[in-house]
Amino acid sequence: MTTDNVTDPYASVRDTTEGQVYTVTGQDWDSVVAGVAESGDERVVVNMGPQHPSTHGVLRLVLELDGETVRDTRLMVGYLHTGIEKNMEYRTWTQGVTFCTRMDYVMPFHNEAAYVGAVEKLLGIEEQIPTRAHVLRVMMMELNRISSHLVAIATGGMEIGAITVMTIGFREREKVLDLYELITGLRMNHAYFRPGGVSQDLPPNGLQELKDFSKWMKKHLGEYADFCNANPIFKGRLKDVGYLDLAGCMAFGVTGPTLRSTGYPWDLRKNQPYWGYETYDFDVPIHEGSDAYARFRIRLDEMHESVRIIDQCIKRLEEPGPVMIEDKKIAWPAQLAIGADGMGNSLDHIKHIMGESMEALIHHFKLVTEGFRVPAGQSYFAVESPRGELACHAVSDGGTRPYRAHFRDPSFANLQAAAAMSEGCQVADVIVVIASLDPVLGGVDR
């Protein structure tokens, strides 16, 4: 593609059997429009994005339209690049959790789970993690699955005019965020999962709050079905829109609710269980519609299953136990308590650390500042996130920091299918297609 006799190697044109293909980059609008005009087709090229509304983050879509019909869709990502994976190479293994939790900010606990699981694999301590720590991790991930699906349903409903679905969706999500704050101290970006366990146990009133939440969700989840399942307007906007069958999912590497909407029951919690998921009683919802409506129904059903798992976690947490590995060369202090002023650790806990011995205090200082060493090697750990398979490939050179940490984010993989799913649909249906994939651009760009 040439502008002012200067060739841009990153915005090239190539001929295929189906016509010219344009590689879309930044500052390319004149070139793209000119290229389409030269083809002789009476098509219009429009931008959708990269503003936030209806694109679930700073996602840019370049649409070729024939009237109101979408003939071609090009996706552009990178507007939210944070360099998280690179930054993790300059922090200790434990500090890496504070970075990866910020990738897909709608499912922070699953980001932490993939990374921590990979680190524990490298350390060879998977069998030494306390049972209570695993139960807490499973419970937090299922709470996160509920909050993530609520965001997907609420924002997707808002974009097609179902305002009530949005308001009640965020109502329930606030309940989940309150639990996050109660248990971890933060509503998001928690860094709650640590190599070896979790940062702290439940507060004294934690179990009761969890029981109250379970009762609330069982009472109110049915409202979504009442508003949406048989609503002719809602179904009319979602039914037969964004069709993607099993072959398409396999070709694009699509996982999660989008894959299960084809009737294929692939869920890592069942197919490749981790952290004791095989000991929980729950079902994997599937649907055979392969469209946006099927994906909505699956997310709704999955929230019911997550509440089932949380109930089982509550029963298991009634028995006390440690939440961090016993190996003091790895375990960060896990029994932290907030001070009376609400700021920092409690004075009693600080006195305990400083009063053990000078050697213990020195070790504590070195563990926090320098970190522990991880044997050289590489590992891959995958979890079933709300959007599909989320995995971390961690590489160690034997030092106290990751040599490399790379994530397989499901939003990035799933977005590849958006162009095929929106081809031939109406402009308004592109919004439904993107919403049904439920991408979060913090995970895509990271």
127 residue type, one letter: E
pLDDT the model gives residue 334: 53
Fold category of 84-330+372-445 in CATH: Cytochrome-c3 Hydrogenase; chain B (1.10.645)
pTM: 0.86
pLDDT the model gives residue 22: 56
Do the Cβ atoms of 220 and 212 come closer than 8 Å? no
Do the Cβ atoms of 303 and 217 come closer than 8 Å? yes
DSSP 226: I
pLDDT the model gives residue 318: 93
Per-run averaged pLDDT (10 residues), the chain, 446 residues: 46 58 59 62 78 75 87 87 92 93 93 96 94 96 96 88 88 94 90 92 92 94 86 89 93 94 95 95 94 94 96 94 87 62 65 68 79 93 96 95 95 92 89 91 88
Q: Using omega within 30 degrees of 0 as the cis cutoff, is the peptide bond preceding 53 cis?
A: no
Output the six-digit token pair for 192.
């709650």
Do the Cβ atoms of 292 and 433 come closer than 8 Å? yes
pLDDT the model gives residue 6: 45
Residue 17 backbone zone (phi > 0: left; psi -120 to 50: alpha; other: beta) = alpha
pLDDT the model gives residue 38: 61
Do the Cβ atoms of 214 and 180 come closer than 8 Å? no
How far apart (Å, rounded) are the C-alpha atoms in residues 441 and 56?
Answer: 7
Q: Using omega within 30 degrees of 0 as the cis cutoff, is the peptide bond preceding 333 cis?
A: no
Output the six-digit token pair for 279.
């000991």
Q: What is the residue whose two structure tokens read 């366990």? A: 197
Q: Is 47 helix (H, G, I), strand (E, B) or coil?
A: strand
Do the Cβ atoms of 74 and 61 come closer than 8 Å? yes
Do the Cβ atoms of 144 and 107 come closer than 8 Å? yes
- Name the helix (H) or strand (E) containing 116: helix 108-123
Q: Can you give the residue ranges of every domain in the chain?
A: 2-76, 84-330+372-445
Do the Cβ atoms of 248 and 439 come closer than 8 Å? no
CA-based torsion, 154, 156, 158, 163: positive or negative: negative
Q: Is 434 helix (H, G, I), strand (E, B) or coil?
A: helix
Distances (CA, A) of 409 to 119, 233, 298, 393, 406: 17, 33, 20, 11, 9
pLDDT the model gives residue 45: 83
DSSP 310: H
pLDDT the model gives residue 63: 87
